[in-house]
Structure formats: C-alpha cells, structure tokens
C-alpha cells in the first residue's frame, strides 16, 4: 500500500480553482520533489494535504495509509504522522518552544497509545535532536518563533520534525529565505531523518535545495496539474531550460490528444 | 470545520459546575435598608456601641450619595430596598472544632472542592470559611496563636481585638470614600481580619472562601489585614456562587495596611456566577480594595484572576506613602458571553523613591466587554517615583470589546512613568500551526491564552496558579477569533 495517494485532486479558494486534477503517489522510503512556477499551486497542494481550512476541495480524493485523508481533522492528520514544515512559520508569543513541542509530542504519543514524556525525559530528547540541526539551546526557552531570523525559523521547523518523527513530511519551500550555510544545515537535518518507513515531499522553486536533499522523483506542477515527472535529472533540465520548456509541449498539443 | 464547531458546542454546554443550593434554614433580615436593618445586623452580631454608630454614620452618608455612572458598564438600576442585607445559616454559635459545625455546611464545601478537615491535615493553609455572611470555622487558630498572628472572622475580631479593629477600620477606605464603600460600611456582614505582629513572617498562606447561598442576598464582606513592622503575609481569596436568576450584589471592602518594611501579598481567584449564555443573572461584583504602604520600605502586591461575575467593577489600589514603598498590580480579567468588566488599579505615589508596577491582561470573548481603567498619580512631593504599566488585550471573536482608559497625572518632574499597551487576536494561522502539530483547537487556545497570561500567573501562589489555569479554560469555552 502506498503511503500517500492523490487522485484527480481539485481544490481552490473562494471559488477560484487552483488545483486542477493532481495525481501523485508517494511510497515509504521515497523523497519526492514538487517544482513549479509561481502560482502553479505548490503551496495550495501542501495546504490541502495538511488540512488548511481556507482551501475548498471540489473533487478527487487523497488516501493516506489507505484512509481517506480529507475527512480527517488537521490535528488528526498530524497525530497520524503527517508533518508540514511551513513556508512562513507563525509566531506564538508567551508560549515557549519547549512547552509547545512537548504538548504536541505528547498529544501524538497519547494518540499512539504511548506514555507521555515528562519534563526531564523531554529535555534529554530535545538535547539529542538539537544536534541534528545545529540548534542553539537558548532558542528553546524563547516563545515559538518570536524574534527568530528566517533561517532560525526554518531550522526550528526541521527541529520540530526531528522531535515529532513524522511518517510523511511535506516541506513547503523550506529553502526560501535561506543562505547557503543554513540551507546545508536544514538539508542535512532532513537527510538524517530519512528511513525506510517515512517519506518526504519537498516543495520548491529552485533546484538548489535538491543538490542537498536528493530526490527519487521530481514532479513539475503547472497551472494546478502535474505535467511532467521524472528522476532527479529533471530538476537539472528545468534549471537549464526554465519552466516554459515544460509548458510549451502542452500548448502545442491539439485538444483531446 | 465540522469538528471545530462540535468542540465549541460541547464546551459551551458544560454547565456551571458550582450551581446548586444548600437546603438549610436561614435567619434573614427583612428586605430593605433602613436604620432598623443596621440595628438588626449589629445586634445579631453582638456588636459594641461604637461600631453600631460607625455603621449608622455610614448609612446616613450613603443616603446623600449617588450611584456613580461613569464606568463602561451597563446594568438595570439596582433596587436597594429590594435586597436582604443579612442572612445567617442557623447553627450553633462558635464551634470549638469542626465536629460542631453543621454537617450540611461542611458537605457544601466538599462539593465545592474544599474540605476543611483535609485542608487542616494536608496543605497547611489556614481557612476561614465564610458562608452566607457568617464565618464558619477557622482552622489553625492555635498554630497562628503561637506566633502572635491573629487570623479570624471580622466579627470575632470585633469581639476579641476591638482596639486593633478600631484603630485601622476605615483608615484606608473611609466610609465616605464612594457609594459602595459607604453601603458596605453600613451593612457589612463579615469577612476576615488578620494581624501580623512585628517581624513575624506568616509561615502559611492565609485563605478565605466565600459563597453566596440564599436568594436575593447581597454579600458585603469587610476584610482588614494589618502587617506590623517587618511582617510578611500572603493571603488568598477565592470565591464561587450558585446559580440564580436574579442578580446579586457583591460590594466588598478590603483594606490592607503595611507598616515599615512589611509586605502583604493579596491574591484573588474570582469565579462568581457569571450569568447564563443569554446574559441573564450573575453576580455584580462592585468592590473597593485598597492598600496603604504606610511605612518606609513597605510593599503591597495585588494579584487577581477575574473570570466570573456578570459585572466586575474594582480597582485594587496602593497608596505609596512610605518612602521607598512598592505597589504592584497583576491582573487577568476575562469577559465572555455577556460579561462586563471595568477594572484596573490606582497607584498613588506620595512618598519618595516609590515604585509601582501594573500588568493587566484583558481577555474578551463572546460579547464580553472588557475595560482597563488605571490611574498613576505622582503627587508633588513624590520625588524619584517610578511606574511601569503594561496593558494587553486579547480579543477572541469579533463581537467582543476591549477598552483602555489610562490616567496619568504627574506633578513631580523627577519621576519616570512608562506605559505600554497592545491589542491582539488569536490568529487562525496560530491555531492552524498548533493543529498541524497535533493539538486540538481547545488545547491550542488554552495554551496561547495561558501564554498571554503568564506574567500574571507567575505571581500567584502555586495552588492558585493551577486553579486559575483551569478556570480560564472553562471560562473561555472554546471561543476562537
């Protein structure tokens, strides 16, 4: 059984259709990259999978571990091991990173029938995971993302991923706003978390990130549909020829072909 | 979407946990307010002549006053003649031990989560339980006696320590101070009295527990706490009340006096019946609380978490008379459904080098209306005064209100007064972020609201802090912006 199966997904916002029939299958152990020009629907796809209420699903289905994902509440999806690394992580004043993450982890653990961790256990867990993303311990006691630089916010997303150990992680333009060094650290973190049981979907504009997080499959999203899929070389071709190269053959095809 | 609505509905239908009535005989005063009512109350309590006179003077003064109309709250006019001003449960006088206390009463407290016997054994907190205008039992009297600490009902204090009472009663809130203080001074029922002798640090937190039972009775507590030179006391006040349809007036007066180098910490968690979802019923909480930092280096802190009452109207204040004295006010006020609050503080800087800190967190939800009203006054002689004020409002929903009315009057140029204010909403993005990490909407809102209130909760004694967090969760009933 595939981990994630998207069939003919149509979705939009306020009556405007953004996803026009997306098809995608992700199996455990795989890394998929989704690339595409601005406005192609990349973030919408990530948002719909995560369960963002602003988006309306108008057709198609999404199966996660064999179950209908779209009928699950966002927190349910998260507890089943779905993780979204946000493009613009929000700030939560007054709530420390530690408090937030411990509450989240324990909610997930309880759902899985595991004992929640106490403060001491949680602290040793975080110390271990912090090394994965070269995270500064002092950031833990600060309110979630408050006053964090762009790079720190993205690293915090991957740090949370390391602690929550999701089965399917969707990285929504995790590379945007990062310098070369931060990019490398974030990518290394993601790579270290890979296993045969989990999978990652990397949503990105540029090929650069894919030098570090090497995908098994690359898909190109244009006007709300995946128009081309291939191996990691596809990313290089896109970088070389631009997105128009992918769009052209579509325009050239006669209707109904 | 569907799941969110379900959660909200479920929470909203949670009934007010403390809504029940104790079937117990009550010995009430006839309705209405007259000199006879005062004499009735005074004689029932066996008060000395001077106190009766004090009450009568207050009543005469009250008759010349008009109810103030300036607060940002609305309520139907109160008929002062249609209230019962004294209700005492019939029971044996002066129980020597809990065994002599009416078991029905004790059962009431058990339902409310307070078992006097257990408290006596476990927590070490001395409880003076006030039930419908009469103090019930005072535990730990013996232990406190050894240290010379007096902690008893106000009525007992009048009997056993009349000189102390007479010296300090009305010295911080004179009878003529305001309409409700005058009313209270005339008809006050009971409350707590506490005196800490010189240099003594009270070893346990002192607490009082209130409840209103009989219909249409107003609660008029009078509390007086005096910390002599170098003394320290931490006092907790927590209240609940049963469900009623008609509004009940609660006009208490609390006076604190801190002499040189003394410190008083007064914490309140208030959970009076707030009225139902349509805004019907609920307690009117019109309270005058004031602390006098009489001596040099004295320190008074007020910490309050106000989640109940249909209307909350109170300004716990500090008179910073002694040089180097410190006044603090930490507050979380919640208004949900149709609750209204006009609350804040007054810090009056009179001596030299005085400091005050104000941290006010207002949370509005439903159609609640929440106003902060604060006064920072630096008098001419108050050299080198320092104040820091922070007023933050959190709006949950789009039909609630948050208002701030800060008053700053500075008459001394060496002073420094800082004021910060913020208004925010819990954003959908924040809620979604929490949900995407596995937290339910309810947990997310609770977490964010608690984070918002952190600075205030930090000031509460630990037992209260836990109760306060739970109370906040229940009061907010799933309201999300």
Query: What are the residue boundaries of the structural domains of chain A, listed by start?
Result: 4-252
Q: How close A143 gets to chain B, by Cα (Å)?
A: 9
Q: Which of B319-328, B360-369, B454-463 has the highest mean pLDDT?
A: B319-328
pLDDT, tens only, A173-210: 988 888 888 888 889 999 999 999 999 999 998 888 99
Which of A23-32, B48-57, B182-191, B272-281 has the lowest average pLDDT?
B272-281
Instruction: State whether A78 and B429 contact (CB < 8 Å).
Output: no
Task: Select from B349, B351, B355 the least CA-distant residue to B326.
Answer: B355
Chains A, B: CB pairs < 8 Å: 78
Chain A contact set for B437 (CB, 8 A): 78, 100-101, 104, 107, 160, 164
ipTM given for this complex: 0.94
- Interface of chain B against chain A, CB under 8 Å? 1, 3-4, 424, 427-430, 432-441, 443, 447-448, 450-454
Question: Which pLDDT value is given to residue B108?
Answer: 53
pLDDT, tens only, B52-98: 999 999 999 999 999 998 888 888 888 888 887 877 655 434 455 66
Chain A contact set for B434 (CB, 8 A): 92, 100, 104
Collect all residues with Cβ–Cβ distance below 8 Å to B316 and sequence separation of at least 6.
B254, B266, B289, B290, B291, B302, B304, B329, B345
3-state secondary structure at position B36 = helix
Q: Is A170 on the interface with B (CB under 8 A)?
A: no
Q: Tell me if A80 sits within 8 A of A49, measured CB to CB.
A: no
**Option in B1, B429, B435 nearest A75 (CB):** B435
Distance CA A143, CA A9 (A): 37
- Between B445 and B462, name the one with better pLDDT: B445
Chain A contact set for B433 (CB, 8 A): 86, 89-90, 92
Nearest CA in chain A to B442: A75
Distance CA A159, CA A179 (A): 18
Q: How close A229 gets to chain B, by Cα (Å)?
A: 28
Collect all residues with Cβ–Cβ distance below 8 Å to A216 and sequence separation of at least 6.
A30, A31, A32, A231, A232
Number of other residues whose CB lies within 10 A of the CB of residue A10: 18
Which of A57, A81, A90, A112 is the best residue to mutate to test the B interface, defined by the most B CB atoms within 10 Å of its own CB? A90
Q: How close A78 gets to chain B, by Cα (Å)?
A: 5
Give CATH superfamily name and number for A4-252. P-loop containing nucleotide triphosphate hydrolases (3.40.50.300)
Enclosing H/E stretch for B466: helix B462-476
Question: Which pLDDT value is given to residue A207?
Answer: 86
pTM value? 0.80
């Amino acid at each position: 059984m595939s981990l994630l199966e998207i069939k003919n997904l149509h979705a939009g916002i306020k009556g405007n259709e953004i996803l026009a029939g997306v098809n995608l299958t992700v199996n455990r152990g795989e890394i998929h990259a989704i690339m595409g020009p601005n406005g192609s629907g990349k973030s919408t796809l990530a948002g719909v999978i995560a369960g963002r209420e602003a988006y309306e699903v108008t057709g198609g289905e999404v199966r996660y571990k064999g179950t209908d994902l779209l009928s699950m509440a966002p927190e349910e999806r998260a507890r089943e091991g779905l993780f979204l690394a946000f493009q613009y992580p929000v700030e939560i004043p007054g709530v420390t990173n530690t408090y937030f993450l411990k509450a989240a982890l324990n909610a997930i653990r309880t759902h899985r029938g595991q004992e929640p961790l106490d403060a001491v256990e949680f602290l040793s867990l975080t110390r271990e995971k912090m090394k994965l993303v070269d995270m500064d311990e002092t950031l833990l006691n600060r309110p979630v993302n408050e006053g964090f630089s762009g790079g720190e916010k993205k690293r915090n997303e991957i740090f949370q991923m390391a602690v929550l150990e999701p089965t399917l992680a969707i990285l929504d333009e995790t590379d945007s706003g990062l310098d070369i060094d931060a990019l490398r650290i974030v990518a290394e973190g993601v790579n270290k978390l890979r296993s045969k049981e989990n999978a990652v979907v990397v949503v990105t504009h540029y090929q650069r990130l894919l030098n570090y997080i090497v995908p098994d499959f690359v898909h190109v999203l244009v006007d709300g549909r995946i128009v081309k899929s291939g191996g990691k070389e596809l990313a290089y071709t896109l970088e070389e020829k631009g997105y128009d190269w992918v769009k052209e053959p579509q325009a050239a095809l006669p209707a109904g072909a | 979407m569907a799941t969110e609505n379900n959660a909200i509905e479920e929470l909203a239908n949670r009934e007010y946990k403390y809504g029940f009535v104790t079937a117990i005989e009550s010995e009430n005063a006839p309705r209405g307010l007259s000199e006879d009512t005062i004499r009735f109350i005074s004689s029932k309590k066996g008060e000395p002549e001077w106190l009766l006179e004090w009450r009568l003077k207050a009543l005469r003064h009250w008759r010349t006053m008009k109810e103030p109309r300036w607060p940002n709250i609305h309520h139907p006019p109160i008929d002062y003649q249609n209230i019962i001003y004294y209700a005492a449960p019939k029971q044996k006088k002066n129980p020597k031990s809990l065994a002599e206390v009416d078991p029905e009463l004790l059962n009431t407290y058990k339902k409310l989560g307070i078992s006097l016997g257990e408290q006596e054994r476990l927590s070490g907190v001395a409880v003076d339980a006030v039930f419908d205008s009469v103090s019930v039992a005072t535990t730990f009297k013996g232990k406190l006696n050894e240290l010379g600490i007096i902690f008893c009902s106000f009525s007992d204090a009048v009997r056993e320590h009349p000189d102390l009472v007479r010296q300090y009663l009305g010295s911080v809130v004179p009878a003529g101070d305001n309409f409700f203080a005058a009313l209270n001074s005339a008809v006050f029922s009971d409350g707590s009295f506490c005196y800490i002798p010189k240099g003594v640090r009270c070893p346990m937190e002192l607490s009082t527990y209130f409840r209103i039972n009989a219909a249409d009775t107003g609660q008029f507590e009078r509390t007086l706490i005096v910390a002599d030179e170098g003394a320290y006391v931490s006092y907790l006040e927590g209240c609940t009340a049963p469900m009623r349809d008609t509004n009940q007036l609660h006009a208490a007066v609390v006076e604190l006096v801190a002499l040189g180098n003394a410190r008083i910490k007064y914490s309140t968690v208030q959970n009076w019946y707030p009225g139902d979802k349509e805004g019907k019923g609920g307690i009117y909480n019109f309270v005058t609380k004031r602390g006098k930092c009489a001596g040099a280096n004295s320190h008074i802190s007020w910490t309050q978490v106000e989640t109940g009452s249909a209307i909350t109207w109170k300004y716990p204040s500090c008179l910073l008379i002694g040089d180097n004295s410190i006044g603090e006010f930490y507050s979380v006020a919640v208004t949900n459904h149709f609750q209204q609050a006009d609350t804040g503080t007054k810090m009056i800087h009179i001596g030299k080098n005085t400091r005050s800190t104000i941290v006010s967190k207002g949370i509005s939800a439903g159609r609640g209306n929440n106003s902060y009203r604060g006064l920072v006054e630096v008098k001419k002689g108050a050299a080198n005064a320092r104040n820091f004020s922070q007023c933050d409002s959190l709006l949950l929903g789009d039909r609630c209100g948050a208002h701030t009315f800060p008053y700053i009057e500075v008459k001394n140029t060496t002073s420094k007064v800082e004021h910060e204010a913020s208004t925010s909403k819990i954003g959908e993005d924040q809620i979604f972020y929490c949900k995407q990490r596995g937290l339910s909407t309810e947990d997310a809102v609770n977490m964010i609201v608690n984070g918002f209130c952190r600075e205030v909760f930090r000031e509460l004694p630990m037992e209260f802090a836990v109760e306060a967090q739970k109370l906040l969760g229940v009061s907010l009933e799933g309201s999300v912006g």
